[in-house]
Structure 1
Amino acid sequence: MPDVLDATPYDALLLLSFGGPEGPDDVVPFLENVTRGRGIPKERLKEVGQHYFLFGGVSPINDQNRALLEALRKDFGEHGLDLPVYWGNRNWAPYLTDTLRDMVRDGHRRILVLATSAYASYSGCRQYRENLADALAALKAEGLELPKIDKLRHYFNHPGFVEPMIDGVVESLADLPEEVRDGAHIAFTTHSIPTSAADTSGPVEEHGDGGAYVRQHLDVARLIADAVRERTGVDHPWQLVYQSRSGAPHIPWLEPDICDHLEERHAAGVPAVVMAPIGFVSDHMEVLYDLDTEARAKAEELGLPVRRSATVGADPRFAAAVRDLVLERAAAERGRQVTPCALGALGASHDLCPVGCCPARTPRPAAAGADSPYV
């Protein structure tokens, strides 16, 4: 088909991420950005930032986004997709507003956004849409012509996201000592969020116990576990668990925590565990510290063999998946009939976030959704 690699009407892709410090002097200012409006004292932020200081004050996330940016540009170029790719962050340079301003000044008027969060949740979707609305408001105040912005759908069950994680789990199992390999348990991990946020994640019709957030992670975990069984011939037990809790102790968050889970599995006689961080696109600080440092220390304390499987990162299959998502959305915008690519029981996610999807406790304008003030 002559328009297979046609991204029309879009003229640019924006990689939108969280951001992270790139040196010791960045840590507290970065955390001030993350916690803005919560009134957290600087001394407390220094305490919270200790896990960054353990790694020289550098989060790996920015380098990982640079690698993904390069992988996307390489894939697009090799396949003849003429679509420039930019990068902006929520909490650290390059800041979203600055990047969006550059895109407008470069003449871009129809922009697609890829967020580095694969699942539905307030912090993983709507908050990015609020960030986009804030950036558009800033550009409007500067008198710039505003672009039309759309966000790519959730890609948690796209083969290009799932298949690298399957490989990672299989490789981690193979790296375990042979005598414990077949009995190994798989702990699929993701970021814990308040149960109230989980229960209201996704469209209104999906609200309830765990909401779309838990349902989507469980679907991916089943996909990976089934594929691992097919490849290895072993049916490994598994569970979805959580990590990186950061809220007040009196507020319920999703459980069990990965360290508690390791203790429980060890007490139950499990001989080994593979930790599979399916909730994360790349090996950023939550993976590097909460799994590779804290959880691994807990496992060593227990005498429990553990391995941690890789995240997708800049895997070429993920870059190809992004290309597929771009072309899929562009074709739909042109009025073409599209069959979205998705694995598992849930099917492809929505293109346009509906009203009431992943609501905030305090309503704020959000771009790239049915309730967007920017059309």
Structure 2
Amino acid sequence: MTPLPSDDDVLAPYDAVLLVSFGGPEAPDEVMPFLRRVTAGRDVPEERLLDVAAHYDHFGGRSPINDQNRALVAALTDEIARRGSDVPVLWGNRNSDPFLADTLRAARAEGLLRLCVVLTSAYSSYSSCRQYRENLAAATEELGVAAADLVIDKVRPYAVHPGFVAVNTEALVEAIADLPENGDASTRLLFVTHSVPEAMDDTSGPGDGEGNLYVDQHLRVGALVAEGLRERTGRDLQHELVFCSRSGSPRTPWLEPDVNDRITELAAEGVTTVVVAPIGFVSDHMEVVNDLDREARATAERLGVRFVRVPTAGTHPVFVETLVDLVEERAAEARGEVVLPAHADSGDLRPSVCDAGCCPNLREALPALCGRD
């Protein structure tokens, strides 16, 4: 869905698009400072940080996420230009250079005052939405009076957007093309996402007491992707949702099952092939290349189970077009136009301005941008 522009520029009134991401280290000496920033205020033991830091050793102390974001910035810039706009694409991270406050300071200096934010996180929860909004608020607070005339909006969560679903479906179709259909009964499709504390899932979504939107969105995306697979190929793989990258205190309940535990159980049940589709991630960053490509693959190989990993959306042209569509949609809203996305009647649509109490911070109340509280 691409709204019709009411101005010469399809992205008016925005001066720039701001890609906001998690960030990651790009050299060995950056790993521990990065991990300390990520876990600040959470009393994570130093030993645990050292364990996590060891994951980066397998990749030369460099996370792939920043390179992924550089490629995405370039792809978004090209797509925006293709649509006849010269609005620049900026990039800021929560936990590594380029830091959000620095990016906002540079934007302000260039006279880019009205920004539309795109998150490299598609789902609804504290860690995948509100925490980014808190970081935006903290960045503007760091700028002080220099941020007074900045206007920052955000596109809506886009996990169930037909474009995101289509890219994940296409990736799955291509990934299993070489698998014989007569083996489908002994094949399991595992949709994978980042585990979060159960309490975070319980409070994800609007502040109306319903909760569990984080898991519900993943289940919905998985069902849509599996349905797309059936429609395109006639193949009906048994599928389920599993999790990776658990961290934090072992006393805190986190979403399960872990992908490695589930592969172990499936092998005992006679499953001979696992197809791992990381629908919870938009690019191949550390949780994908370490937790899936290295650790889960090793688990499968140890058990004699064939391991097939489906690519993430990355810079797939349809995904890039989807993100720019979302910016155009948000621009239309900012211009006061009525916007009705094609899938508005699906029940899965989330607002671009978060409701009060949506996906709350359970540790402390912090200001957050792009919401009603």
* TM-score bracket for this pair, using the shorter chain length: over 0.9
Q: 2:201 aligns with which of 191, 198, 202?
A: 198
In 2, Cα distance between the equivalents of 1:68 and 1:313? 7
Task: Note if contact 1:191-1:243 (Cα within 8 Å) is conserved in structure 2.
Answer: yes
Per the normalisation by structure 1, the TM-score is 0.94
In 2, Cα distance between the equivalents of 1:360 and 1:189? 24
In 1, Cα distance between the equivalents of 2:147 and 2:141? 10
Determine whether 1:17 maps to 2:18.
no
Closer, same or farther in 2 for the Cα pair 1:341/1:105, shift >3 Å? Answer: farther
1:3 Cα offset (Å) = 3.3
The 5-angstrom pairing of residues 1-375 of structure 1 reads 3=6, 6-40=10-44, 42-140=46-144, 143-176=146-179, 180-181=183-184, 183-205=186-208, 207-208=210-211, 211-342=212-343, 345-361=346-362, 362-371=364-373
In 2, Cα distance between the equivalents of 1:234 and 1:44? 42
Per-residue deviation, residues 157-212 of structure 1 (Å, max 9, x unmatched): 1122111111111122123356535642110000000000001001123634xx11
In 2, Cα distance between the equivalents of 1:144 and 1:320? 30
1:46 Cα offset (Å) = 2.4
1:37 Cα offset (Å) = 1.9
Task: Note if contact 2:186-2:270 (Cα within 8 Å) is conserved in structure 1.
Answer: no
In 1, Cα distance between the equivalents of 2:5 and 2:243? 46
Runs (5+) with no aligned partner, structure 2: none
In 2, Cα distance between the equivalents of 1:339 and 1:113? 20
Closer, same or farther in 2 for the Cα pair 1:347/1:10, shift >3 Å? Answer: same
In 2, Cα distance between the equivalents of 1:67 and 1:177? 34
Supply the AA of the counterpart residue of 1:27: V
1:278 Cα offset (Å) = 0.3
The count of residues paired between Structure 1 and Structure 2 equals 368
Let me know the Cα RMSD of the aligned residues: 1.8
1:277 Cα offset (Å) = 0.3
Supply the AA of the counterpart residue of 1:76: I
Task: Note if contact 2:154-2:330 (Cα within 8 Å) is conserved in structure 1.
Answer: no
1:9 Cα offset (Å) = 1.9
Q: Identity, % of aligned pairs?
A: 52
Closer, same or farther in 2 for the Cα pair 1:206/1:233, shift >3 Å? Answer: farther
Supply the AA of the counterpart residue of 2:159: F
1:333 Cα offset (Å) = 1.9
Runs (5+) with no aligned partner, structure 1: none
Task: Note if contact 2:71-2:315 (Cα within 8 Å) is conserved in structure 1.
Answer: yes
SS in 2 for 1:49: helix
Task: Note if contact 1:13-1:86 (Cα within 8 Å) is conserved in structure 2.
Answer: yes
Per the normalisation by structure 2, the TM-score is 0.94
Per-residue deviation, residues 326-367 of structure 1 (Å, max 9, x unmatched): 111111222212112438943321111011001012111111
In 2, Cα distance between the equivalents of 1:264 and 1:343? 39
Task: Note if contact 1:182-1:234 (Cα within 8 Å) is conserved in structure 2.
Answer: no
In 1, Cα distance between the equivalents of 2:250 and 2:102? 36
Closer, same or farther in 2 for the Cα pair 1:344/1:218, shift >3 Å? Answer: farther
Supply the AA of the counterpart residue of 2:115: I
In 2, Cα distance between the equivalents of 1:206 and 1:284? 33
In 1, Cα distance between the equivalents of 2:243 and 2:346? 22
In 2, Cα distance between the equivalents of 1:117 and 1:308? 20
1:76 Cα offset (Å) = 0.5
Supply the AA of the counterpart residue of 2:129: C
In 2, Cα distance between the equivalents of 1:306 and 1:205? 41
Segment of structure 1 superposing worse, 106-115 or 190-199: 106-115
1:294 Cα offset (Å) = 0.7
1:252 Cα offset (Å) = 0.5
